[in-house]
Amino acid sequence: MSDITVLKNGLVFTPDNVFKKLDVEFGEDRITAISPADTISTEGKSVIDCGGCYVIPGLVDVHFHGCAGNDLCGGDVSVIAEYEFAQGVTAICPATMTLPENELNTVLDNIREYKRHEDTHERAELVGIHLEGPFINPEKAGAQHTDHIKRPLGDKIRKWQKASGGLIKLVTIAPEMDGALGCIVGCGDEIHFSLGHTNCSYEAAAKAFNAGADHVTHLYNAMPPFHHRDTGLIGAAIDDGHCFVELICDGIHVSPAAVRAAFKLFGEDRMVLISDSMEACGMPDGEYSLGGQAVTVRGCRATLSDGTLAGSVTSLPDCMRMAVSMGIPLENAVRAATIIPCRSIGIDKLHGSIEVGKRAHFVLLDKHDLSTVKVI
């Protein structure tokens, strides 16, 4: 079989956000040519007939904890990567939980070693780590364990970044916590800070954005609601005009009207769809664990014993399809699951769009129901 492959007979999602009939040539994991349909020679090359499917970039999840019975904080990362790839997620930036410091150190060490020996054949590429705890507000901990929450310290972040081998791309932080602004200013040159799990005022959030924070962790969830006299983080994010905004579009965490409102308020260049999935994603109903806490899964809902939502059990491709079913244009939903999350953590030079020189990761979607036909 040739080392060069040509995708033909597909409607390819282009960087200008339209679907076009194009040929796409790739080899050695990089896209080598893109041309109008039937203009790239196939002589001596392998050919994949896309059968009229939509061809979109591999999806990128910058906030999830696990799947297929495995959690990032103690499970088998290779199993997670295999499952994600099979769904159509070809690059991952999984999230840690709020853990005892010795456990977090072990998790980061293990992830660093996994990356050193990473095999990306039919596995999602590990492109970073999202440190979701421990610098959060205990009043908005959600499914995070409050016993292990810590005061934000730049020295801690630098220590953990070294332990991870430089893999930490994103840190969730509550801007009202003592030390938060210092962390954002002191470590923002190499890490993106996301405001979340917070009870902050509009003013505290605005100061954090001005200091360099550029991301919001799962909009609407684990933060005060938007109120017309006290708009909080949501109002500050709207006013900021530049920050990227995560959204869990699983049909459980956020209502359809709130999903549509978010896309209208923040626009297609700022919305980041995430799954926030936990280890029960892809598994049957039952009892599971998240960050050392027991989680019950029934249907599409994962909860702690007190009813608190504990992540999702929905994959990112299903979240993308859910967004479309809620009235989000397909093109905007695809962007929110591909190029925009890549931009949000600075990996867009290699991932997130179908362009010459980028990773040759593709997902073929059925034109009628958007089901996944093939992952390449």
Q: What string of H, E and C letters represents the secondary structure of 224-248?
A: CCCECCECHHHHHHHHHCCCEEEEE
**CB contact at 8 A, 166 and 187:** no
What CA–CA distance (Å, rounded) separates 47 from 60? 26
Structure-token pair, residue 367: 């034109």
What's the mean pLDDT when you consider all of the chain?
A: 96
What CA–CA distance (Å, rounded) separates 14 from 12? 6
User: CA triplet 79, 83, 87: central angle to 5 degrees?
Assistant: 170
Task: Give the model confidence (pLDDT) of 78-103 as tens digits.
Answer: 999 999 999 999 999 999 999 999 99
CA distances from 342 to 57, 91, 170, 289, 345 (A): 11, 9, 12, 29, 6
As a whole number, mean pLDDT of residues 221-227 equals 97
Looking at residue 292, its pLDDT comes to: 85
pLDDT-based confidence at residue 2 (cuts at 50, 70, 90): low
β-pair type (54-57, 89-92): unpaired
Give residue 113's identity as a one-letter amino acid code.
E
Nearest to 146 by CA among 174, 111, 187: 174
Structure-token pair, residue 336: 């929110």
Give yes or no for residue 24 having a pLDDT over 80: yes
Give yes or no for residue 1 having a pLDDT over 70: no
Looking at residue 134, its pLDDT comes to: 96
N residues, the chain: 376
- Please name the CATH architecture into which domain 59-351 falls: Alpha-Beta Barrel (3.20)
**CB contact at 8 A, 330 and 339:** no
Quickly tell me which residue has 């799954």 as its tokens.
Answer: 275
What CA–CA distance (Å, rounded) separates 92 from 345? 11
pTM of the model: 0.96
What CA–CA distance (Å, rounded) separates 201 from 108? 32
What is the percent of the chain with per-residue pLDDT over 70, rounded to a whole number?
99
276 included as an active-site residue: yes
Residue among 276, 285, 348, 366 flagged as catalytic:
276
Fold of 4-55+366-375: Urease, subunit C; domain 1 (2.30.40)
Nearest to 62 by CA among 302, 271, 329: 271
H/E element, 130:
strand 129-131
What CA–CA distance (Å, rounded) separates 15 from 12? 10
pLDDT-based confidence at residue 77 (cuts at 50, 70, 90): very high
As a whole number, mean pLDDT of residues 162-184 equals 97
Which segment, 133-147, 199-213, 282-296, is predicted with the most confidence on average? 199-213
Task: Give the model confidence (pLDDT) of 108-132 as tens digits.
Answer: 999 999 999 999 999 999 999 999 9
Quickly tell me which residue has 């801690």 as its tokens.
Answer: 156
What CA–CA distance (Å, rounded) separates 235 from 9? 45
Structure-token pair, residue 115: 């990356």
Compute, in degrees rounded to 10, the torsion defined by CA atoms 174, 178, 183, 185: 100
| φ and ψ at residue 22, rounded to 5 degrees | -135, 155
Give the dihedral sign, CA 224/318/34/19.
Answer: negative
Show me where the domains of the chain are located: 4-55+366-375, 59-351
Give yes or no for residue 162 having a pLDDT over 60: yes
What CA–CA distance (Å, rounded) separates 363 from 265? 28
With a CB cutoff of 8 Å and minimum separation 6, the contacts of 260 are: 326, 327, 328
Give yes or no for residue 261 having a pLDDT over 60: yes
As a whole number, mean pLDDT of residues 190-195 equals 97
pLDDT-based confidence at residue 291 (cuts at 50, 70, 90): confident
Estimate the share of the chain in helix, then strand, then coil, as percent rounded to the nearest 5.
30, 25, 45
